[in-house]
Amino acid sequence: MPPVIAENLDIVISRIHAAATAAGRQPKDVHLLAVSKNCSSDTIRKAVVAGQQSFGENYVKEALEKMTELANTTYNENTQKRLIWHFIGPLQTNKTKLVATNFDWVHSVDRLKTAERLSLQRPAYLPPLQVCLQVNISGETSKSGTMPEDVQILAKTVASLPNIQLRGLMTIPKATTDPIAQRCEFATLRMLYERLNTYGLALDTLSMGMSHDLETAIAEGATIVRVGTAIFGARN
Domain total in the chain: 1
Q: How far apart are the first and last CA of the chain?
A: 23
Q: Consecutive 10-residue runs of the chain (236 residues): their mean pLDDT?
A: 83 98 98 97 95 97 97 72 94 96 98 98 97 89 86 97 98 83 92 96 96 96 98 85
* Spatial distance between the Cα atoms of 101 and 124, rounded to a whole number of angstroms: 10
Contacts of 110 (CB under 8 A, 6+ apart): 133, 134, 135, 136, 144, 145, 146
Structure confidence at residue 1 (pLDDT):
40
CA-only gyration radius of the chain, Å: 17
pLDDT of residue 3: 64
Count of beta carbons in the 10 Å neighbourhood of residue 166: 25
Q: Is 2 exposed, middle or buried (0-12, 13-18, 19+ CB in 10 A)?
A: exposed
Report the C-alpha gap between 129 and 98 in whole angstroms.
Answer: 12
Could you tell me if 143 and 124 are in contact, meaning their C-beta atoms sit under 8 angstroms apart? no
* Contact of 224 with 205, CB cutoff 8 Å: yes
CA–CA separation, 124 and 47 (whole Å): 31
> How many Å apart are CA 111 and CA 123, to the nearest integer?
21
User: Which residues does residue 141 pair with via DSSP β-bridges, in sequence order?
Assistant: none
Q: What is the pLDDT of residue 28?
A: 97
**Which pLDDT does position 80 carry in this prediction?**
61
Which pLDDT value is given to residue 79? 59
176: left (phi over 0), alpha (psi -120 to 50) or beta: beta
Domain that holds residue 31: 4-232
CATH of residue 138's domain is 3.20.20.10
